Structure 1
Amino acid sequence: MSTPSGAIWGRAEQQDFRSRVRGCLLGGAIGDALGAGVSALTLDEIRAAHGEGAVNDFVPAFGRRGAVSAATQLTLFTVDGLIRAQVRRDTGAWHPPTDVHRAHLRWAATQRDWGPDLRRKDGGWLAQEEWLYARRDPTISCLTGLGDTTMGTLDKPKNTIARDSGALVRSAPFGLLVGWEPQLVCQLAVECAVQTHGSPGAYLSAGAFAVIVHALARGETLDAGVQRALAQLTPRPGHQPVSDALQQALGAVRQGIPGPERIAALGEGRTAESALGVAVYCALVAEDIRQGLRLAVNHDGPSAVTGTLCGALLGALHGETALPPAWLAELEGRPTLLEIADDFAMEMTQGPALHSPGSAASGWLARYPRG
């Protein structure tokens, strides 16, 4: 993988970028939390439990309101891996898929250990966050793909028939690499997806999602992002189900009033490509983030998945100030999400000042060790 060129950031550009990074990560987590309590229910069951208007606010999941699932946990570790990859560039070791894989192995440890291993010096600060040591409905594909230290690759992917959204929901951070070209963003997301998901529908959905987020983080429209993703997909073998899902999402916008019937026609998110299609559709027709997320979670499919994806898209599109304050206030892990979002923005805009060979900040290297 070639090294992307650097960029010069003005103050206004830095502020806009940080807002979109925060919006993307927090928006995804809000959508995750909104859908987590009803993710296993049909729409009829949701309405029976919460009224004809279905879910309009957080409902308890995992013992509390505002709780997030494994989708948010994994997204946090994806960001951690990308920061670590940038830090390790100074050593000449430049292979982001390896650093993201190591980060996801740290997530896997949170699924089997009781709490942080304080003896480890290479884990960084995120792996010390005790609230992350909880199993929140991870997919079997993620658990088995990260069940040993062997890294799946495009030549030898893990779980070759896995079509679920476990890789897709953790892939928004790749799109926040705004200094990269879209083809590199897509390639990195794909290379990291095959570490757990070897079906083309699953890993190409991850690549397409990252490209759409990338366009939004650069200030482009959602429609432009989808077109860019379609262009990236076309040369890749096995792309047709993902391309079809995106085309169907675009077409559904013109088919009448948004509602569960439109989502059902898109497949309700039961495969990675249909989850991507549902999320894109909900984001395209959203009048605002609140309305878009309510649409994204009230259907028969996996609500936490489609809520996560739609929230990340709308957050990257509109920035953090568009997020509903009442939902932010109750969101589990909000301090951690804000901290790593700001760290990511600082690394991407000011990284050389933090860890170049001539001016290394010891505190930063303690947070994101090179090892």
Structure 2
Amino acid sequence: MSAEPSPSAVPTFESRVHGCLLGGALGDSLGYAVEFDSINAIRSRYGTAGLTSFGQLDGGSHFSDDTQMTLYTVDGLVEALEWANDGVAADETACLWLAYLRWLATQGVPLPASAPVPQPRWIDGQDVLRHRRDPGSACLSGLATGDMGTVARPVNPDSKGCGTVMRSAPFGLVPHIPEAAVYRLSAAAASLTHGHPSARQSAAAFSLLVHKLATGSDVRTAAEHALSVVEALPDPAPELLERLRQALILSATGTLLNPEELTAQLGEGWVAEEALAVGLYSVLATEATADVQLDPAAHFRRAIGVALNHSGDSDSTASIAGNILGALHGEAALPADWLEALEAPDVIRGMAQRLIAVTVG
């Protein structure tokens, strides 16, 4: 008889960084396989439980633009922190904009003549990132303008696609900065491509949630705190407030929503507040059972299964859930067999190490 798994030790900050980035990529990779499929199509292909492991995929897996842009967010932050560590003040949002412009070039989109020509960095030499994996239209069009959008003058002023929230976990992984700075950085970066208040506020709320998790909070406390920050804004996006509140209430009932109920209650995840709500719900609603409490990897498998098996933006919702789970549990949450199937883990770990090196050494 095998011994029951014991509760894991409190993860280190370094483990949370690696867990968050790798966890997001795992969720993204599974979700990307069914991103444009209805739940009926998913069940028809993978069975009544849907897609629940990499072993069900034929021909391997790939992560999408969600992981690409998350890693480029890391690189923009790393460049700004490198300047700061050298005693040179840098415009963090400009560093992020330049990083996203370098990502735009990997998608085969020419840089506009009005845009600066960014200097290449380590991440730009990774061939695995130079694939077009269904990038969001607002991300492409916002960067292709050549204008650096701001909160006051955003590009794509009416867009609130999930392309902001799915890339924003890294802002929560910068230690020793106040949460006001986390919010400011994330909101400013979102405004580079999306102008709708919900896109900006959803990204910032997600970053605040990850920031709380990285310092040892539980998920519900972190989510409630992020909600309270949004509620205190002078102009909170009502749809974000509604979705966050619904995710917290529905996840506390003790009954797991089926995929049809999930999207009916929280949305399909194509817009920012819905993607955040579905990812958050998936983590919270699956954390109460005894086996999950004993085994972080069991929590990861179960939550990702909920996050991706629905008629909606499966890669973004599962990526967000993976980011949350990795920041919560650290690398202990990452199923070993899933990691073996993950595309380019060395690149993801390389970016995690760069962030760690410029923050905690």
1:262 Cα offset (Å):
4.0
Q: Which amino acid aligns with 2:130?
A: Y
Q: Which amino acid aligns with 2:246?
A: Q
Q: Indicate the SS of the match to 1:319.
A: helix
Show the counterpart of 1:7. Answer: none
| 1:196-235 superposed matches below 5 A | 196-234=193-231, 235=233
- The 8 Å contact of residues 59 and 66 in structure 1, kept in 2 or not, is answered as no
1:60 Cα offset (Å):
8.5
Question: Is 1:323 aligned to residue 340 of structure 2?
Answer: no
Aligned residues: 332
Structure 1 alignment gaps of length 5 or more: 1-11, 115-119, 351-371
- The 8 Å contact of residues 60 and 66 in structure 1, kept in 2 or not, is answered as no
Q: Which amino acid aligns with 2:314?
A: S
Show the counterpart of 1:185. Answer: 182
* Whole-angstrom distance in 2 between the partners of 1:106 and 1:67: 20
1:284 Cα offset (Å):
0.6
1:59 Cα offset (Å):
7.2
- Of residues 51, 70, 75, the one that matches 2:70 is 75
TM-score by length of 1: 0.85
Q: Which amino acid aligns with 1:171?
A: S
Show the counterpart of 2:238. Answer: 240
Residues 259-308 of structure 1 show CA distances to partners (whole Å, capped at 9, x for unaligned) of 32441211121321011111111011223100000010001111001000
1:239 Cα offset (Å):
2.4
Structure 1 runs, 4 residues or longer, greater than 4 Å off = none
* Whole-angstrom distance in 2 between the partners of 1:261 and 1:36: 19
Q: Indicate the SS of the match to 2:44.
A: helix
Question: Is 1:55 aligned to residue 54 of structure 2?
Answer: no
Show the counterpart of 2:6. Answer: none
Show the counterpart of 1:176. Answer: 173
* Whole-angstrom distance in 2 between the partners of 1:207 and 1:76: 17
- The 8 Å contact of residues 187 and 207 in structure 1, kept in 2 or not, is answered as yes
Show the counterpart of 1:270. Answer: 270
Show the counterpart of 1:161. Answer: 158
- The 8 Å contact of residues 172 and 312 in structure 1, kept in 2 or not, is answered as yes
Show the counterpart of 2:325. Answer: 314
Show the counterpart of 1:347. Answer: 358
Deviates more, 1:249-258 or 1:321-330: 249-258
- The 8 Å contact of residues 101 and 118 in structure 2, kept in 1 or not, is answered as no
Q: Which amino acid aligns with 2:331?
A: E
Q: Which amino acid aligns with 2:252?
A: R
Question: Is 1:336 aligned to residue 332 of structure 2?
Answer: no
| 1:354-369 superposed matches below 5 A | none
Q: Which amino acid aligns with 2:66?
A: A
Show the counterpart of 1:357. Answer: none
Structure 2 alignment gaps of length 5 or more: 1-8, 111-116, 287-291, 293-298
TM-score by length of 2: 0.88
Show the counterpart of 1:104. Answer: 100
- The 8 Å contact of residues 252 and 285 in structure 2, kept in 1 or not, is answered as no
Assess, with a 3 A threshold, how the Cα gap between structure 1 residues 250 and 295 changes in structure 2: closer, same or farther. Answer: same
* Whole-angstrom distance in 1 between the partners of 2:87 and 2:340: 40
1:94 Cα offset (Å):
2.6
- The 8 Å contact of residues 183 and 232 in structure 1, kept in 2 or not, is answered as no
1:236 Cα offset (Å):
4.0
- The 8 Å contact of residues 46 and 56 in structure 2, kept in 1 or not, is answered as no
- The 8 Å contact of residues 160 and 198 in structure 2, kept in 1 or not, is answered as yes
* Whole-angstrom distance in 1 between the partners of 2:55 and 2:193: 30
Show the counterpart of 2:148. Answer: 151
